Amino acid sequence: MTASESQGVERGTAYGFDAWLVTSPHATAAISIFGGQVLSYRPTGADDVLWVSPLAATPPTPIRGGIPVCWPYFGKENQTGDVPSHGYARTATWQVVDSEVLADDVTQVRLAPLGLERLTLRLELTVRVGATLEIGVRTTNLSDEPAVLTEALHNYLRVSDATDVHVEGLSGKSYEDKFDDLQVKTQDGDWRLPDDVPRSDRLYPDAGGTYRLVDPGRGRTIRVTGDRARTAVVWNPGADVASGMADVGPHWREFVCVETANAGPDLITVAAGATVEMWQTIALE
């Protein structure tokens, strides 16, 4: 970065990880150099909206928390062979392309992963830190063939207790229940963790795009809005699954993921030479 480009961005650490620290008059944020994921977003006067596990492992294990970028595939969708879960972006080292201060004192940082030149898809991330947090995932297909893409912004939203919150905006939507052999079910009312077995791995195709995570314990609501993101995924592993995850363990109650994605049946076909974008906006209400 040149001096003028680095306005509002400096190197530091966040949750123990090397990061770019981003400031604006409205909020601070941190973006991890490993994974390029936003680790922290704090509107002025508020607690962090994002959660990073106190048990998060160190690189090359993906960081459990913040907003990992799942790209160029979600989970292991449409892949063959032994590929890493959620793609290559979240374990890449990233660089800042440029940064600038936009209107309304929003600080914008553009980033790209290093070492993924073997792919014919190119990825660029835009992070805008202001009264809201906006993240854009921009994919360009450099090949002369169409490419199929799945992707997600896999936010870990900090909550008082995952068993006490609910998510509005999904009622009546169909979902694939990944904890129940991908059975297709219908969301009956707001999303809540089930009482009997409190865990959720639900993929909602063709979802509405705006979701409200209502947290009475913290007295706050986190609004998540997807743009050009047809899918929603609501994930919390619950106690039993988390007990087998070294980087979650007893901390499973501290977050809920309300991911905006293009995944499951919502595949994106990127024409040869074309560019597509997906955005997520996070706001405190």
Residues lying near ligand BG6 in the complex (CB under 6 A) = 62, 75, 85-86, 154, 178, 201, 233, 235, 259
Q: Which residue has its beta carbon closest to ligand BG6?
A: 85
Return the closest-CA partner of residue 51 out of 130, 165, 150, 137. Answer: 165
The distance of closest approach from Cβ of residue 179 to ligand BG6 in the complex, given in angstroms and rounded to an integer, is: 9
The distance of closest approach from Cβ of residue 44 to ligand BG6 in the complex, given in angstroms and rounded to an integer, is: 30
Q: What are phi and psi of 27, to 5 degrees?
A: -170, 165
Q: Cα–chain-centroid distance for residue 161?
A: 20
Classify residue 143 by its DSSP letter: S
The distance of closest approach from Cβ of residue 114 to ligand BG6 in the complex, given in angstroms and rounded to an integer, is: 21
Hey, which residues are catalytic here? 154, 259
The distance of closest approach from Cβ of residue 165 to ligand BG6 in the complex, given in angstroms and rounded to an integer, is: 17
CA distance 78 to 115: 22
The distance of closest approach from Cβ of residue 275 to ligand BG6 in the complex, given in angstroms and rounded to an integer, is: 25
Closest to ligand BG6 by CB, 9 vs 242, is: 242
Closest to ligand BG6 by CB, 130 vs 204, is: 204
Q: Which residue has the tokens 């995952």?
A: 162
Closest to ligand BG6 by CB, 178 vs 220, is: 178
Please, which residues bridge with residue 203 across strands?
A: 176, 233
Q: How far is CA 60 from CA 34, 57, 77, 92, in A?
A: 8, 8, 22, 9
Q: Cα–chain-centroid distance for residue 2?
A: 28
Closest to ligand BG6 by CB, 178 vs 228, is: 178
Give 205's Cβ-side CA count (13 Å radius): 13
CA distance 4 to 99: 9
Closest to ligand BG6 by CB, 106 vs 258, is: 258
- The secondary structure of 169-206 as a DSSP string is S-TT-EEEETTTTTEEEE--SSB---SSS--EEEEETT
Closest to ligand BG6 by CB, 154 vs 212, is: 154
The distance of closest approach from Cβ of residue 116 to ligand BG6 in the complex, given in angstroms and rounded to an integer, is: 18
CA distance 3 to 191: 46
Take residue 95 and report the two structure tokens written for it. 């660089």
